[in-house]
A and B are shown apart, each in its own frame.
Chain A
Amino acid sequence: MRAWLTRWGRRYGALMRNAWLVDLQYRAAIVLWVLWGVVEPAVALGIWWAIARAGPVGGYDRTDFARYFFALTLVNQLTLAWDSWYLDRWIREGELNFRLARPLHPAHEAVADNLAYKARTGAILLVVWLLVALVWPTVRLPVAPARWALTALAVVIAAAMRFFISFTTGLLAFWTTRATSIMELHAGLSLFLAGRIAPLALLPPAVASAAGYFWFPYMLAFPVDVLTGAAHGTATIVHGFVGQLVWLGLWIGMWWVAWRRGIKRYGAVGG
């Protein structure tokens, strides 16, 4: 067990150091990507802020909206995964070949890239949030260590979900040239069903309850609601975590099938 830990610790240490240094070369570019990620929730907050001028909307007043979208920005940055774009390129341009020749599954490199990228960008956003909170009390959250611990757990599971969703969708590049378009479609749906444009409570009730049958709320809205305190009570929280774990399991299964079949097909084309 210890040998196993040391071996994987060394592997991940090397992969993450590499990813961190690559990102360091592109630090200005990364700041721009973070900025781009901030704009969508900022615009949404601006609009809801204007709408809530007269009073609470669907139980959300201006303070709730501000906290929701600040939490959303952070959680989104910590969970988003670009892997379908990388996979699409790896498969189309043949960059997957040397990765397959390594004695390590290519998914490990992708995981390490994600961890390094999220550590850097998540830290930037956290510092920005703290600085804004200094001058704007509205976005201060009450000190609640237990809730923050639950949020951390929910964010880790959500990040894993979005990683496998993105990776699996990217694997479709084995069969189609439009894998990234499918990911765009997914992003369009998640705008509403994952709570990116509005808290789910503000959607038409039929849409909101339909969203609950998919993975969307669990990959973003649930961790956000845990952080802001909108999700409270043991039943709600347990239900959320169970949903997360079920969908994570299903996506890992789909990822496994897509990988096995895709590699077989890829080998056949190449060989």
Chain B
Amino acid sequence: MSARRAPRVLRVLGALWRLNVAEELQYRANFVASVVGTLFYLATALLTLALFFRHTTSLGGWDYWEVVVLLGVFNALSGVVEAVLRPGIGQLAEQVRSGDLDLVLSRPVDAQAFVSFRRLDVWRFTDVVLGLTLAAYALFRLGHPPSVSASLAFVVALGAAGVVVYAIWVALMSLAFWFVAVENISVLFDALFEGARYPVTAYPGALRFVLVYLLPIAWTTTVPAGALTGRFGPVTAAAAAAVALVAFVLTRVLWQAALRRYTGAGG
């Protein structure tokens, strides 16, 4: 697709990203800091797992290297959150409070797309690389390389996971239109996502139900990691895609309701 035929919002975002990357390249020390921070984080996460596995041989039916695959997926998704979502849509609550959102709404582009993706914290994409590298290493240690269909299921499930994470952010941030005082609402996401560090099967039944069906955190790490290790098949991956679609549509509706409320209050 030529740039000329691309939708307007993509051209606008493309221009913003180019500026963004040019700006970030000035601060290369941040790259080193980001990588060191992530390596330290992964080290503590691996030590935590080692501690758990000192006293058990499996966590919710998953053995050590399977949980490490999941940790890699978790870190990759955290990278997406830190690189794209937190600097983008994560700023929404503050913009609602200060009224800066008016400047976005007056632009002739889709407000949700613009708000969500206008800013990137490019160095944090290294977390995606480090996470996937860790997952690949763990897979190698597991000793059975994923089949073609498992790899495909993983790609689908990982894409779905990204959409689900994005939908959760949109849902939480839309709440800011109703509860203006909650400037640190992104903390709710951090709290929720903390539960995604381990396979959902490790949690008690009631909590597992909530994490699969109500707050669909199970689909973000457990399902992609399980697809990669062959625990889940293509059917689960298709279900993940369906969940992602439903989550996206629902949050789009919620976003529009929130926006109507905002313009109502502003005018």
Which A residues are closer than 8 A to B by beta carbons? 25-26, 28-29, 32-33, 35-36, 38-40, 43, 46-51, 57-58, 178, 181, 184-185, 188, 191-192, 197-198, 202-204
B194 touches A43 (CB 8 A): yes
> Is B33 engaged at the interface, CB distance under 8 Å to the other chain?
yes
A39 touches B194 (CB 8 A): yes
Q: Which 4 A-B pairs have the closest CB atoms?
A: A39-B191, A51-B56, A57-B55, A32-B187
Residues of A within 8 A of B213 (CB): none
Residues of A within 8 A of B145 (CB): none
From residue 4 to 43 of chain B, which have CB atoms closer than 8 A to chain A? 33, 37, 40-41
Residues A188 and B40 in contact in the complex (CB < 8 Å), given A39-B191, A47-B52, A197-B51: yes
Residues A191 and B48 in contact in the complex (CB < 8 Å), given A28-B179, A47-B59, A202-B54: yes
Of B103-111, B125-133, B199-207, B232-240, which stretch is located at the interface? Answer: B199-207
A100 CB to nearest B CB, Å? 28
Residues A40 and B194 in contact in the complex (CB < 8 Å), given A28-B182, A50-B59: yes
Query: What 12 additional pairs, Cβ within 8 angstroms, besides A36-B190, A184-B40?
Result: A26-B181, A29-B181, A32-B182, A33-B184, A39-B191, A43-B194, A46-B202, A51-B52, A51-B59, A185-B40, A192-B44, A192-B47
> Is B118 engaged at the interface, CB distance under 8 Å to the other chain?
no
> Is B99 engaged at the interface, CB distance under 8 Å to the other chain?
no
B209 CB to nearest A CB, Å? 14
A202 touches B181 (CB 8 A): no
Residues of A within 8 A of B198 (CB): 43, 46-47
B54 touches A191 (CB 8 A): no
A132 to B187 alpha-carbon distance, docked (Å): 23
Interface size class on chain B is 20 to 34
| Residue among B33, B51, B56, B194 making CB contact with A181, cutoff 8 Å | B33
A166 to B37 alpha-carbon distance, docked (Å): 19
A45 CB to nearest B CB, Å? 10
A180 to B1 alpha-carbon distance, docked (Å): 45
Residues of B within 8 A of A26 (CB): 181, 183
A35 to B198 alpha-carbon distance, docked (Å): 19
A150 CB to nearest B CB, Å? 28
Residues of A within 8 A of B204 (CB): 46, 49-50
| Residue among A35, A50, A188 making CB contact with B187, cutoff 8 Å | A35
Residues A29 and B51 in contact in the complex (CB < 8 Å), given A35-B188, A36-B191, A43-B195: no
B52 touches A188 (CB 8 A): no
